[in-house]
C-alpha cells in the first residue's frame, strides 16, 4: 500500500513545503519530526553562507573600517590620531584631487562621446545583413582586446606612442607632420588614453549594443517600414529609444570605469602622474597617497568622496534614463 502511494506522488510534490501545501489545499499537514522544521529552514542558509562570510570579511568589514581610517591622520607608519573630518576637508581643498577629477571628467566625456558612438556604429555594422555570415568571426575579433591584459596593452601602446620610432609618429611623418611627444606632452595625455581605451573597450561595448539591437523585434521595424520611415528616422525613433535600457547600463559602466581608470595611466607613465599631473586619475592619486606617502586617512577619505560622487552621478543618470528597476 505504502509503495503504491509513493509511486503515485511525484518527486516535486514530495519536496513541497508544508505551508505550500496548506496554501494550495487548505489542509494542515502536521509533521512531528524533531527539529525538522529548523533544519529545513536553516539548510539553504548554510549553503549560501560561504559567499556571505567571505563578503563580510572582504566587503563589509573593510567598508566600515575604512570609515574609521578616514577619520584618522597617519602620523607615521604605525601611529595615527583621530582628527574628525579633517581628511575630508583636506581632500576637497587639494588641487591635485580636483586636477585628477578634471582629468577623469575629460576622459569620461571622451569615452561617452567618442568610444560609445563608435561602438554603436560598429554594432549596427555587425548587425547588418551583409555581414551576417561573418558575425561570429567579427565578434570574436572585437572581443579579443578585452581579454588582453592591461599591462600588455599599455606596454605596446607605449611603444606605439613614442616620439622616436613610434608607429603613430611614423605614420604622421609620411604626411609631413613633425614628431609629436605623445607621452610627455600634457596636452596629449588624455588623448593617449582615449586612443588606447578605444581600441581596448570598443569590442565589449559594441557587444553590449549588439545584444540590445538583437532584442529589438523585427515586427517593430517592419511596421516602421510600412509606415514609410527612412533609415535615419528608423535609427532615431525606433533603434535609439528601444536601446535605452542597455544604453543606461553601458553609460553607467563607462562613467564608473572612467573614474576608476588605473591600470592604463599607471602603465603609460610608469607609476608617476604624467607631466604636470596630466594622467593623474582619482584612483591613481588614492594609490599614491596611500602607498607612496602613507597618508592612509587621506586616501580613505578620497575613496569615500569618490564613492559619494559616483553615487550622485548614477542617481542623476537613472533619472535621466528613467530606469525603474
| Rounded CA separation 204/253 (Å) | 11
Identity of the residue, 166 or 203, whose beta carbon is nearer to other proteins in the bound complex: 166
261 closest CA partner among 103, 155, 114 = 103
Identity of the residue, 258 or 283, whose beta carbon is nearer to other proteins in the bound complex: 283
Do 280 and 274 contact (CB within 8 A), yes or no?
yes
- CB contact set of 29 (below 8 Å; sequence gap of 6+): 18, 21, 22
In the block, cell 561570429 appears at 136
As measured in angstroms, the least distance from the Cβ of 78 to other proteins is 5
As measured in angstroms, the least distance from the Cβ of 156 to other proteins is 14
| Rounded CA separation 192/125 (Å) | 26
| Rounded CA separation 204/141 (Å) | 11
Identity of the residue, 33 or 136, whose beta carbon is nearer to other proteins in the bound complex: 33
As measured in angstroms, the least distance from the Cβ of 82 to other proteins is 16
Strand runs (DSSP E) across the chain, as ranges? 72-74, 80-82
Identity of the residue, 13 or 222, whose beta carbon is nearer to other proteins in the bound complex: 13
Question: Contact positions toward other proteins, by CB under 8 A?
Answer: 2, 5-6, 8-9, 13, 21, 24-27, 29-34, 36, 43, 46-47, 49-50, 53-54, 57, 75-79, 162-165, 181, 183-186, 271-273, 275-277, 291-296
Enter the C-alpha cell of residue 36: 525538522
Identity of the residue, 80 or 253, whose beta carbon is nearer to other proteins in the bound complex: 80
As measured in angstroms, the least distance from the Cβ of 30 to other proteins is 6
Identity of the residue, 107 or 182, whose beta carbon is nearer to other proteins in the bound complex: 182
| Rounded CA separation 185/230 (Å) | 46
Half-sphere exposure of 228 (CA within 13 A, CB side): 0
As measured in angstroms, the least distance from the Cβ of 237 to other proteins is 26
As measured in angstroms, the least distance from the Cβ of 94 to other proteins is 8
Amino acid at each position: 500500500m505504502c509503495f503504491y502511494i509513493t509511486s503515485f506522488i511525484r518527486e516535486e510534490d514530495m519536496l513541497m513545503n508544508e505551508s505550500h501545501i496548506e496554501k494550495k489545499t487548505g489542509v494542515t499537514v502536521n509533521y512531528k519530526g524533531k527539529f525538522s522544521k529548523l533544519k529545513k529552514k536553516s539548510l539553504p542558509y548554510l549553503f549560501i553562507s560561504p559567499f556571505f562570510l567571505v563578503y563580510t570579511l572582504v566587503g563589509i568589514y573593510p567598508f566600515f573600517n575604512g570609515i574609521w581610517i578616514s577619520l584618522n591622520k597617519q602620523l607615521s607608519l604605525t601611529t595615527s590620531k583621530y582628527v574628525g573630518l579633517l581628511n575630508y576637508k583636506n581632500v576637497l581643498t587639494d588641487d591635485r584631487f580636483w586636477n585628477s577629477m578634471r582629468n577623469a571628467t575629460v576622459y569620461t566625456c571622451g569615452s561617452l562621446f567618442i568610444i560609445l558612438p563608435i561602438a554603436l556604429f560598429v554594432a549596427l555594422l555587425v548587425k547588418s545583413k551583409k555581414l551576417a555570415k561573418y558575425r561570429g568571426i567579427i565578434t570574436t575579433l572585437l572581443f579579443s582586446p578585452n581579454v588582453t591584459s592591461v599591462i600588455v596593452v599599455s606596454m605596446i601602446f607605449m611603444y606605439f606612442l613614442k616620439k622616436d620610432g613610434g608607429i603613430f609618429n611614423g605614420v604622421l611623418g609620411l604626411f609631413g607632420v613633425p614628431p609629436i611627444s605623445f607621452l610627455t606632452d600634457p596636452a596629449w595625455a588624455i588623448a593617449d588614453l582615449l586612443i588606447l581605451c578605444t581600441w581596448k573597450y570598443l569590442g565589449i561595448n559594441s557587444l553590449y549594443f549588439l545584444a540590445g539591437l538583437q532584442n529589438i523585434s523585427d515586427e517593430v521595424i517592419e511596421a516602421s517600414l510600412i509606415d514609410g520611415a527612412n533609415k535615419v528616422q528608423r535609427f532615431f525613433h525606433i533603434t535609439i529609444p528601444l536601446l535605452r535600457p542597455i544604453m543606461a547600463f553601458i553609460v553607467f559602466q563607462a562613467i564608473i570605469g572612467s573614474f576608476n581608470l588605473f591600470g592604463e595611466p599607471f602603465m603609460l607613465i610608469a607609476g608617476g602622474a604624467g607631466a604636470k599631473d596630466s594622467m593623474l586619475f582619482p584612483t591613481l592619486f588614492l594609490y599614491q597617497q596611500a602607498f607612496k606617502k602613507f597618508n592612509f586617512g587621506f586616501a580613505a577619505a578620497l575613496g569615500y568622496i569618490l564613492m559619494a560622487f559616483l553615487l550622485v552621478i548614477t542617481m542623476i543618470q537613472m533619472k535621466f534614463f528613467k530606469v525603474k528597476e
